[in-house]
Chain A
Amino acid sequence: MQLKAENISFRYTDDGPFVLKDITLEVNSGERVGIVAPSGYGKSTLAKILSGYRLPEEGKVLLDGKPLPMTGYCPVQMVYQHPEQAVNPRHRMDKILNEAWQPDDELLRKMGIEKSWLTRWPSELSGGELQRFCIARVLGPETKFLICDEITTMLDVITQAQIWHLLMEISEERNLGMMIITHNMSLAKRVCTRIVDLTKLNNVHSHTHTHIHDHEHGDEDHVH
């Protein structure tokens, strides 16, 4: 399968500066494509567009030539940077884990999720433990592509290495396509099969750079 972004352009307001301009890139099943750029180059925005959270102003996101489904389980799933914001603080971990499908014991063991964690509340787990749940809950059989937006940036380096080792293993086993967004080049070199430099790919003019940055954060503030 192939996930393709075709001439994507995006801006947050109708007359604002473009955050993304004419971006074309594709990810094939089994590939782990790293998107590397410093903050302010629209990485997170690209992740949201590729996983269908936002619609581009121009261009298309195609999965094997067809647009992403607007309802039902999306074959392109995203994992966020802040796991504690991505889970409902009022739900217990087993409910969070089983929101979309029932992962089997084998997967839980592989993900390093301990049975005793299932009866806890999100506030009783660390960021690294929560992130394992956030990954496991979107690894359903219908998931074909996984977009990872700085998923280990807030975790300690040991947990970071643990999570990436198992994600690499799973992506190979299931022929999963992954897009890995990170600012950390050494991490990208370790885990990706191909690296794309978004600073070269993104055709926004460099003098608008600070504005892009500001807008991206403005948007994040809304989400919080």
Chain B
Amino acid sequence: MSEEKKTVLNVEDLTVAFNMYQKGAFKKTDLEVIHKLSIDVKEGEIVAVVGSSGSGKSLLAHSILHILPKNAKVGGKIEYCGKELDDKYVKELLGRDIAFIPQSVDYLDPLMHVDKQVIGVYGNKERQREVFDRYHLDERVDTLYPFQLSGGMARRVLISSAVMEEPKLIIADEPTPGLNVEMAMETLNNFRELADKGTAVLMITHDIDLAFEVADRIAVFYAGTVVEIASTLDFIMGRGFLRHPYSAAFVDALPQKKFKPIEGTQPYAGNLPSGCLFADRCPYRDDECAGEIPMRDLRGGKVRCVHAT
């Protein structure tokens, strides 16, 4: 892991709020769902974002790609190769330099055969067949419409379209549910190959085993922000090597580790405490935790905690 690797994706202090009506009221309030999130992905690197589903992980992908719903307010900075990634720029890059693997087949055009969609503007038929073969999609699949695909097939079509070219950045939102073990491993190996050729991969998943398998670094998502980013090795080694008390609790709760839970629940959007989001469940809590907690560098990783050593 040399230092001179270029940062492909850099997200700094991303904040996303939804402007919503309260139940039965006529006034709109902002419901903050992502709070000052920072994450970066370098070339040739797979970064996994892990956390419970529904905690706002997908919104990170949607913010980067500018596909949030209309009532979302976005703050902070998103950069691609050092240049601000605005709405226009992302449309220019999407499909060639940036590939997105969405969670659902709804992102496909329902009125178009899947092979044509996968080939898109830049691809060709041979390459498409090659990729489909790799994902065990035979020729009959080429001329199917999206609604005719089963869950697993749809997932494989979506992955195929992302790896058609050699994109510089892949954003994968839960790429493997619905795939059998072999297909899931094939997908991960494919990501690894692309990463080894220089592609940056941001993989959003709730499956920690998956992250352990291929990721170079793991970002832990808690209550709408990233509390720690560290190398996968630190996570495998266990709590002593981690920085944030939540990451440590997270690893302790894994069935393959101690299977020991801490008490309490994650605070949810609209009800987030000021200061440290984990404070109410943290054994090291003190007055300092009530202030704004910045993300800081620590032992080759990053952490959002004032007490971490």
Contacts and interface: CB of A to CB of B under 8 A. Distances in A.
Do A and B touch (CB < 8 Å)? yes
B81 interface: no
A129 interface: yes
- Most chain-B CB neighbours within 10 Å: which of A156, A190, A209, A214? A156
Interface in A197-224: 209-210, 213-215, 217-218, 220-221
A217 B178 contact: yes
B208 interface: yes
B300 interface: no
Contact of A40 (B55, B152, B266): B152
B150 interface: yes
Contacts, number: 95
A155 B53 contact: yes
Contact of B180 (A38, A156, A157, A191): A38
Nearest to A127: B54
B152 A157 contact: no
B152 A161 contact: no
- Most chain-A CB neighbours within 10 Å: which of B55, B209, B259? B259
Interface string B154-197: 00000000000000000000000111110000000000000000
Contacts of A159: 52, 261, 265
A158 interface: yes
Nearest to A153: B206
Contacts of B268: 124-126
A214 B261 contact: no
A121 B270 CA distance: 14
Interface string B33-71: 000000000000000000111110000000000000000
Interface in A157-174: 157-162, 164-165
Nearest to B176: A39
Contacts of A164: 259
Given A156-B51, A190-B255, 5 more contacts: A128-B52, A128-B265, A186-B256, A190-B259, A191-B255
